[in-house]
Structure 1
Amino acid sequence: MALLSLVPVGLKKLMRRLHELCVIEGLKINYKKTKVLVFGRRYVNHRWSMDNHQLEQTRVFKYLGVIFSDTLSWKTHLQYTKQSAIKTVGAILKFHRSTGGNLVTPALKIFEAKVIPQVLYGALIWGWDTKAISSLETIQTDFLRRLLNLPPGTSSAMLRAETGLPPLTTHIHLALLRFMRSTVHLQNKDLLNLYLTHSSTQKSWGARLENLLHRYHLTIHQFNTIGSDKKLREAVIHHSQYLDRLYLLNSRSAPWYWRFKTDHSRSPYLTTYMPSNLRFAFTSLRFFSLPNAEREGRIAKVPKEQRYCICGYQGVEDLPHILLDCPIYHNPRMNLTSRWPDLNESAQLPIKYYS
Structure 2
Amino acid sequence: MSPTAQDAHDRPGVYSQDGTEYRRDTRYITTRITADGRDGYPVEPGRYRLVVARACPWANRAIIVRRLLGLEPVLSMGVCGPTHDERSWTFDLDPGGVDPVLGIPRIRDAYLARFPDYPRGITVPAIVDVPTGQVVTNDFAQLTLDLSTEWTAHHRAGAPDLYPEHLRDEIDEVADVVYRDVNNGVYRCGFAGDQESYDAAFHRLFDRLDRLSERLASRRYLVGDTITEADVRLFTTLVRFDAVYHGHFKCNRSTLAAMPVLWAYARDLFQTPGFGDTVDFVHIKRHYYEVHRDLNPRGIVPLGPDLSGWWAPHAREQLGGRPFGDGTPPGPVAPGEEVPAEHTAPRPA
TM range (shorter): under 0.3
Instruction: State which structure, 1 or 2, has the greater radius of gyration over its C-alpha atoms.
Output: 1
Question: Structure 1 length as normaliser, TM-score?
Answer: 0.24
Question: Structure 2 length as normaliser, TM-score?
Answer: 0.25
